[in-house]
Amino acid sequence: MDAVTRITHAATNLSDPRGLDSVIDAASRCRFVLLGEASHGTHEFYATRAEISRRLIEEHGFHAVVAEADWPDAYRVNRFVRGLGDDRDAVEALEGFKRFPTWMWRNTDVVQFVSWMRHHNSGLKLLRQAGFYGMDLYSMFASIQEVLNYLQKVDPPAAKRAKYRYACFDHAAEDAQVYGYAAGFDIDKSCEDQVIQQLVDLRQHAIDYARRDGLLAEDEYFFAEQNAKLVLDAEQYYRSMFHGRINSWNLRDQHMVQTLDALAAHLDSRVGQCKLIVWAHNSHLGDARATEMGERGELNVGQLVRQKWGEQAFLVGFTTHAGTVTAASEWDGAAEHKAVRRSLVGSYERLFHDTGIDRFSLILKDHPELREELSLPRIERAIGVIYLPETERLSHYFYARLPEQFDAVIHFDHSNAVEPLEPVAAHAIEPPETYPTNY
């Protein structure tokens, strides 16, 4: 029996209204459910993650979604879904996501999911509500401001001390890369000592701050502390980014896992044992040890979560064969609807396409013979915020061992671009298929 036949027999067709049941059942038995995406701009990935998350929250009591998003921007959404804050609707609650790529979280699929979370939480007691959090570290200057805002409310003298310490960053004019370049090559321009001192100072007053108004005060302190920790990690990240990709990548994913661990501990102290859903790109959530990334010395969230939590982690990858995607042609470029080329011969995506099933799920851990069949390395596609079809093989494919990378995979043979809330540039036309040549 060849690989295509084995996949066809093992796959669950998602055209069935209960097609996600096997994924939901397997995920529900774990504390950490990591839901990936093969691009940052595919509607089917967002919509299916949202559907899985809704069911895990409604049917199995999961406590939060943790996204590959900046902590302060996501916490604004968290306040909204809990009925707090001043935002009138989900679109307004997502306005904090101003950093490129805005379409990653400011899109119609996220609006629908955030609106659903608000509706689900309405009428529930605080401890039973589901939250929405971020775990990324790009928001250094926004997080500095959030620490200052918090201290100004609870301890104005401490706010003055914090403002003095964070003034170390003033020469960067709120440009983290400018700071990183200067500090990376001139240690005297580093603000590391100041941000460490500020985090220590905040933690020394933790008990006093967190006890002021019960559960809400505990949440607000936790939010501020994580912002201070983010500033520390981001300062190190931006200093490192001009000295090699591997080190900066590892610092970023370690920060995301530390944030996940901190959130789990915070929620555990309130609900007993929390269960969390993570949304991020496949490159972060698939175990790096099963990919070229690991061979280069890179680690990621999926690997670290598995190493710590073992069978309590459930990793789900998403793939597509062809369609459209929202992506840019360069960093800080405009969002475009781009045609996604057909997957390359020899890839996992092409293997899934050859089954003839339009969309399906596959629980890899339930099929030992299929796992063995798929364990030989194949190329796998990854589209981030930039998509360059002209150099697709070099830009967007890497070798992986899928059954070791993920516990389950969800495939869409044809997928569609996510719809951003902001205008999209002219729809891109598929370029001539002159490269690559192995069709």
DSSP string, 210-261: HTSSTHHHHHHHHHHHHHHHHHHHHHHHHHHGGG-HHHHHHHHHHHHHHHHH
- Is the pLDDT at 435 greater than 50? The verdict is no
Q: Is residue 392 part of a domain?
A: yes
Residues 234 and 310 in one domain: no
Last residue of a domain, one of 273, 302, 335: 273
Provide the domain count of the chain. 2
End-to-end CA distance of the chain: 24
Residues 168 and 263 in one domain: yes
Q: What is the pLDDT of residue 132?
A: 98
Residues 291 and 256 in one domain: no
Rounded mean pLDDT, 370-399? 94
Residues 245 and 367 in one domain: no
More reliable by pLDDT, 180 or 60:
60
Residues 302 and 435 in one domain: yes
Residues 288 and 178 in one domain: no
Q: Is residue 400 part of a domain?
A: yes
Task: Give the closest residue to 390 by CA, choosing from 419, 348, 337, 429.
Answer: 429
- Is the pLDDT at 217 greater than 50? The verdict is yes
Q: Is the dihedral of CA 65, 69, 75, 78 positive or negative?
A: negative
Q: What is the pLDDT of residue 439?
A: 28
Residues 248 and 360 in one domain: no
CATH number of the domain residue 311 falls in:
3.40.1660.10
Q: Is residue 372 part of a domain?
A: yes
Q: What is the pLDDT of residue 433?
A: 45
What's the token pair of residue 119? 């509706």
Residues 167 and 193 in one domain: yes
pTM for the model: 0.94
Q: Is residue 92 part of a domain?
A: no
Residues 188 and 246 in one domain: yes
Is-contact 139 230, C-beta < 8 A?
A: yes
Host domain of residue 408: 1-62+275-439
User: Model confidence over 348-364: pLDDT tens digits?
Assistant: 999 999 999 999 999 99
Q: Which residues, other chains included, contact 50 with Cβ-Cβ below 8 Å and sequence gap of 6+?
A: 109, 112, 113, 116
Residues 283 and 269 in one domain: no
pLDDT band, residue 434 (cuts 50/70/90): very low
Last residue of a domain, one of 256, 273, 290: 273
Lowest-confidence region among 12-16, 47-51, 76-80:
12-16
Q: Is residue 108 part of a domain?
A: no
- Is the pLDDT at 216 greater than 60? The verdict is yes
**Burial class of residue 184 (count of CB atoms within 10 Å of its CB; 0-12, 13-18, 19+):** middle
Please state the φ and ψ torsions of residue 380, each to the nearest 5 degrees: -140, 145
Q: Is residue 86 part of a domain?
A: no
Residues 256 and 165 in one domain: yes
Q: Is residue 7 part of a domain?
A: yes
What's the token pair of residue 303? 């690997």
Residues 267 and 311 in one domain: no
- Is the pLDDT at 94 greater than 80? The verdict is yes
Rounded mean pLDDT, 245-253? 93
- Is the pLDDT at 429 greater than 60? The verdict is no
Indicate the residue type of 142.
Answer: A
Q: Is residue 43 part of a domain?
A: yes
Q: What is the pLDDT of residue 405?
A: 98
Last residue of a domain, one of 250, 273, 296: 273
Q: Which residues, other chains included, contact 78 with Cβ-Cβ below 8 Å and sequence gap of 6+?
A: 131, 132, 133
